[in-house]
Chain A
Amino acid sequence: MATLSLQHIDKIYDNNVQAVFDFNLDVKDGELIVLVGPSGCGKSTTLRMVAGLEDISAGRLYLDGKDITTTPAKDRDMAMVFQNYALYGHMTVYENMAFSLTMRKENPNVIHKKVLAAAEILGLTNQLNKKPAQLSGGQRQRVAMGRSIVRNPKVFLFDEPLSNLDAKLRGATRREILLLHKRLGATMLYVTHDQTEALTLADRIVCMSMGYVQQVGTPLELYDSPANIFVAGFIGLPPMNFYDVTVGNGVLTGEGFKVSLTPEEQDTLKAYAGKTIVLGVRPEDVGEGPDVPVTVSTNENLGMNTLVHGHIGQSKAASAKISAKLKGWCDYKTGDTVTFSFKRKHFFDKETTNAIRKGE
Chain B
Amino acid sequence: MTMEERTVKRDRMRYIKNSLAANLALLGILFDVLYFVKIYQSDVGTYYYTILIGISIVYNLVFLLAVFLASEGVKNYKAGYTWLLAAIGIGQIARIFIIPARAHAATTLVNGESVPVMGDKTFLYVVILLVLSAVCLLASAAVNFIRCRELAEHMKTVPPPSTGT
B95 at the interface (CB under 8 A from A): no
Least Cβ–Cβ distance between B15 and chain A, in angstroms: 4
Question: Is the pair A112, B12 in contact by a Cβ cutoff of 8 Å?
Answer: yes
Interface range, A side = 10 to 19
A127 CA / B161 CA spacing, docked (Å): 10
A262 at the interface (CB under 8 A from B): no
* Chain A residue contacts of B16, Cβ below 8 A: 94-95
Cβ < 8 Å to B, chain A residues 85-137: 92, 94-95, 108-109, 112-113, 115, 123-129
Do most interface residues of chain B lie in helix, strand or loop, or is the interface mixed? loop
**Known A92-B15, A94-B16: A109·B9 in contact at CB below 8 Å:** yes
* Chain A residue contacts of B165, Cβ below 8 A: 123-124, 126-127, 139
Q: Which residues of A contact B (CB under 8 A)?
A: 92, 94-95, 108-109, 112-113, 115, 123-129, 139
* Chain A residue contacts of B162, Cβ below 8 A: 126
What 13 new A-B contacts, CB under 8 Å, besides A123-B164, A124-B165, A129-B14? A108-B12, A109-B5, A109-B8, A112-B15, A113-B8, A123-B165, A126-B162, A126-B164, A126-B165, A128-B14, A128-B15, A129-B15, A139-B165
Q: Which residues of B contact A (CB under 8 A)?
A: 5, 8-9, 11-12, 14-16, 161-162, 164-165
A113 CA / B9 CA spacing, docked (Å): 10
Q: Name the residue of chain B whose CB is nearest to the CB of A97.
A: B15
* Chain B residue contacts of A113, Cβ below 8 A: 8
Q: Name the residue of chain B whose CB is nearest to the CB of A110.
A: B8
Least Cβ–Cβ distance between A53 and chain B, in angstroms: 30
Least Cβ–Cβ distance between A293 and chain B, in angstroms: 54
Q: Name the residue of chain B whose CB is nearest to the CB of A94.
A: B15
Q: Name the residue of chain B whose CB is nearest to the CB of A125.
A: B161
Least Cβ–Cβ distance between A110 and chain B, in angstroms: 9
A-B contact pairs, 24 of them (CB 8 A): A92-B15, A94-B15, A94-B16, A95-B15, A108-B9, A108-B12, A109-B8, A109-B9, A109-B12, A112-B8, A112-B11, A112-B15, A123-B164, A123-B165, A124-B165, A126-B161, A126-B162, A126-B165, A127-B165, A128-B14, A128-B15, A129-B14, A129-B15, A139-B165
A220 CA / B15 CA spacing, docked (Å): 45
A260 CA / B54 CA spacing, docked (Å): 103
* Chain A residue contacts of B5, Cβ below 8 A: 109
A108 CA / B161 CA spacing, docked (Å): 23
